[in-house]
A and B are shown apart, each in its own frame.
Chain A
Amino acid sequence: MSRKIRVLVAKPGLDGHDRGAKVVATALRDAGMEVIYTGLHQTPEMIVEAALQEDVDVIGLSVHSGAHVPLFRKVLTLMQENGLGDVLLTGGGIIPAEDMKMLREEGAGRLFGPGTATSELVSYIRESVNQESA
């Protein structure tokens, strides 16, 4: 049985704009991945614990609240503390380019803004997980 790419899609923080997360979750599903969708209002602690239990390859966060810097940072810290340093942290939302760059330097993967084609995200995840997936 072939290895499946497993992705946790979560919305941390207080904003309720989950349309983007649902579109992304569905696109990754249609690309043959197993997507664990956790819903709204997740704390970084809940997200990292879920990622640990589900043994995912990728965590994808969707943030539209403006609080992306502290949220991504907290998730990165908790990932390190829980031995999930090998998991890719990516995501998207309303995130200024300079913040994307800064978070990238701190250990996050690529972050994506509005208008990104879902196919771009799919190829990025596939390449990052370094796997030939159907």
Chain B
Amino acid sequence: MSSDLLDRIASGDRRALARGLSSVEDRAPGFRDLLRGASGSAGAAHRVGLTGAPGVGKSTLVSALTTEARKRGRRVAILAIDPSSPFTGGALLGDRVRMTDHLLDQDVFVRSMASRGAQGGLSTATGDALDLLDAAGFDLVLVETVGAGQGDVDVAAEAETTCVLFAPGAGDAIQAMKSGLMEVADLWVVNKADDDRAERVRADILSSLMLHDPPDDLDERVRMVSASTGSGVAALLDALDARLDQLEASGARAESRRERIRYRVGRAAAETLREATETSSSDALVDDVLQGRSSVHDAAEALLRSVASTSSGEQP
């Protein structure tokens, strides 16, 4: 059944792809089989993450990059992630408002995803969704994160190339020196370059990066774009292409794929464990700690053992 769905996804059936994406998001029955099939064909698409504070222009730049990539005949998929409410679980996914140019283009696929409780600017199923988009034969997959804070760096673990966006009017040089977001970038992109203050933002980023071990091509890697006018967008796509060629040639691409899988194995295991803590079978372990018979760490050990003994077979 799921191999049939995967065949339809690989043949370009957009309805099948949409269904498959829901299946991995919902952890619906059969989603593991679907992903098992997809993991073999994954690895062709360039996975590019775009992150940055709310309002720096992530959606608009994603749309502009898509326009440019389409001119070059590439098939483009977009995963646009917005936050879920921690209280109701609901979400308002509004990134499509800025992507209407591509809605009727059969070679562009846009999917909005809610973060569904995941931290770090992504959703739990981001990596799985990327595998399906890859299996569907897209050349370029753009992942737009939740408007990220300084520590929201998970996108760098899921993407091959991470662009961190900045815009004038949002903080000074000291913000750029802080840990986190600055460090995970492969490309630093100053959007809204038509604003007079944009050059200053670029200078702040450069001076911060030059404090410690800057890459040789630093000047090339801090890009100025105006997503709304399209200025600098073609050059940014050139830079993304050049980076992919370089990763491929040096063997770093295969290595990063390996590391990404390692990271995702850990995430998937953690997800299974977290679900186990939410079932009533963990109540006894919690009671033991409450009544002083064991520690939190003893309970965790016991939980690991019970999960290991029940999950040896395929889950329904």
On A, residues with C-beta under 8 Å from B are 1-4, 6, 25-26, 28-39, 42, 45-46, 49-50, 52-55, 82-83, 134
Chain A residue, CB-CB nearest to B22: A55
Chain A residue, CB-CB nearest to B31: A1
Centre residue among B91, B109, B110, B111 by max chain A CB count within 10 A: B91
Chain B 16-48 interface mask (CB, 8 Å, partner A; 1/0): 001101100111100000000000000000000
Complex contact A52–B89 (CB within 8 A) = no
The one of B19, B27, B88 that contacts A32, using a Cβ cutoff of 8 Å: B88
The one of A37, A42, A46, A134 that contacts B93, using a Cβ cutoff of 8 Å: A37
The one of B91, B116, B124 that contacts A35, using a Cβ cutoff of 8 Å: B91
Chain B 72-108 interface mask (CB, 8 Å, partner A; 1/0): 0000000000001100111111101100100110000
Q: What number of A-B contacts does a CB cutoff of 8 Å give? A: 84
CA distance A83 to B181 in the complex (A): 42
**Which B residues are in CB contact (< 8 Å) with A46?**
100, 103-104
> Is B231's beta carbon under 8 Å from chain A?
no
CB distance from B289 to the nearest CB of A (A): 26
The one of B21, B85, B97 that contacts A39, using a Cβ cutoff of 8 Å: B97
A-B contact pairs, 26 of them (CB 8 A): A1-B116, A1-B124, A4-B114, A25-B92, A29-B91, A32-B85, A32-B89, A32-B90, A34-B93, A34-B112, A34-B114, A37-B94, A38-B100, A39-B94, A39-B96, A45-B104, A46-B103, A49-B104, A50-B96, A50-B103, A52-B15, A53-B14, A54-B112, A55-B18, A55-B19, A134-B89
Known A53-B18, A55-B19: A26·B92 in contact at CB below 8 Å:
yes
Chain B residue, CB-CB nearest to A40: B97
Complex contact A31–B26 (CB within 8 A) = no
User: How many chain B residues touch A (Cβ–Cβ < 8 Å)?
Assistant: 31
**Which B residues are in CB contact (< 8 Å) with A1?**
25-27, 116, 124
Q: Is the interface of A mostly helix, strand, loop or mixed?
A: mixed
**Which A residues are in CB contact (< 8 Å) with B100?**
38-39, 42, 46
Apart from the given pairs A32-B90, A36-B112, A54-B18, 15 other A-B contacts in the complex at a CB distance below 8 Å: A1-B27, A25-B92, A29-B85, A30-B90, A35-B90, A36-B93, A37-B97, A38-B97, A45-B104, A50-B96, A53-B18, A55-B18, A55-B22, A82-B15, A134-B89
CA distance A85 to B110 in the complex (A): 21
CA distance A52 to B94 in the complex (A): 16
CA distance A33 to B112 in the complex (A): 13
**Which B residues are in CB contact (< 8 Å) with A83?**
15
Complex contact B103–A29 (CB within 8 A) = no
CB distance from B240 to the nearest CB of A (A): 23
The one of A3, A26, A38, A54 that contacts B111, using a Cβ cutoff of 8 Å: A54
CA distance A1 to B104 in the complex (A): 32
CA distance A7 to B91 in the complex (A): 10
Known A29-B91, A37-B92: A4·B111 in contact at CB below 8 Å:
no
